[in-house]
Amino acid sequence: DRRGPNRAGPGGILQPVADGIKNFMKEETNPPFADKWLFLIAPALAFIPAMMTWAVLPFAAPLPTPWGLIDMAIAPVPVGFLFTLAISSLGVYGIVLAGWSSNNKYALLGGLRSSAQMVSYEIAMGMSTIPVLLLAGNVSLGAIVQQQSSMGWNVLSLTIAWFTFLVAAFAETNRLPFDLPEAESELVAGYHTEYSGMKFSMFFIAEYANMLTVSGLTAVLFFGGWDIPFTQWDNTGAFTVLKTVATLLAMAAKVGFFIFVFMWVRWTLPRFRYDQLMSLGWSVMLPVALAYIVIIAAATLGLDMFGVARGHLFSLSLLALNVGLIAILLAWLDRGKLISPASARVGPTDLDRLRARGLDLSRRPLPPSTETATAFSSTPAMASGAPGSPTMIAEGGV
What is the pLDDT averaged over residues 307-327?
A: 89
Burial 46-85, CB ≥16 within 10 A → b, else e: bbebbebbbbbbbbbbbbeeeeeeeebbeebbeebbebbe
Q: Are 391 and 312 within one domain?
A: no
Domain extent for 222: 15-342
Number of domains in the chain: 2
Q: Are 172 and 272 within one domain?
A: yes
Is the residue at 103 inside a domain? Answer: yes
Q: Phi-psi bin for 359: left (phi > 0), alpha (psi -120 to 50), beta?
A: alpha
Q: Are 53 and 132 within one domain?
A: yes
Q: If we measure between CA atoms, which residue out of 209, 260, 178 comes closest to residue 47?
A: 209
What's the pLDDT score for residue 385?
47
Nearest-5° Cα angle at 167, 141 to 72? 20
What's the pLDDT score for residue 335?
67
Q: Are 393 and 322 within one domain?
A: no
What's the pLDDT score for residue 344?
53
Give the pLDDT band (50/70/90) at residue 6. Answer: confident
Tens-digit pLDDT profile for residues 235-261: 777 888 999 999 999 999 999 999 999
Q: Are 309 and 171 within one domain?
A: yes
Q: In whole numbers, what is the pLDDT of the chain averaged over residues?
A: 81
What's the pLDDT score for residue 356?
76
Q: Of 8-12, 54-58, 120-124, which gets the smallest average pLDDT?
A: 8-12
Helix intervals (H) in the chain: 15-25, 36-52, 80-88, 91-101, 105-136, 141-151, 154-157, 159-172, 184-187, 197-222, 241-268, 274-279, 286-305, 312-334, 348-363, 370-378, 390-394
Is the residue at 3 inside a domain? Answer: no
Q: Are 131 and 158 in contact (CB under 8 A)?
A: yes
Q: Are 314 and 392 within one domain?
A: no
Phi, psi of 28 (to 5 degrees): -90, 120
Tens-digit pLDDT profile for residues 42-79: 888 888 888 888 889 998 888 888 888 888 888 888 88
What's the pLDDT score for residue 117?
84
Residue 129 has pLDDT above 90, yes or no: yes
What is the pLDDT averaged over residues 373-392?
A: 46
What's the pLDDT score for residue 386?
47
What's the pLDDT score for residue 382?
45
Q: Are 305 and 384 within one domain?
A: no
What is the pLDDT averaged over residues 21-26?
A: 79
Tens-digit pLDDT profile for residues 161-198: 999 999 999 888 877 777 776 666 666 677 777 777 78
Residue of higher predicted confidence among 71 and 333: 71
Is the residue at 7 inside a domain? Answer: no
Q: Are 170 and 308 within one domain?
A: yes
Residue 333 has pLDDT above 80, yes or no: no
Give me the residues paired with residue 70 across strands: 63
Is the residue at 187 inside a domain? Answer: yes
Using CA atoms, how far apart are residues 311 and 53, in angstroms rounded to an integer?
31
Give the pLDDT band (50/70/90) at residue 28. Answer: confident
Q: If we measure between CA atoms, which residue out of 264, 179, 257, 272 comes closest to residue 222?
A: 257
Using CA atoms, how far apart are residues 393 and 167, in angstroms rounded to an integer?
63
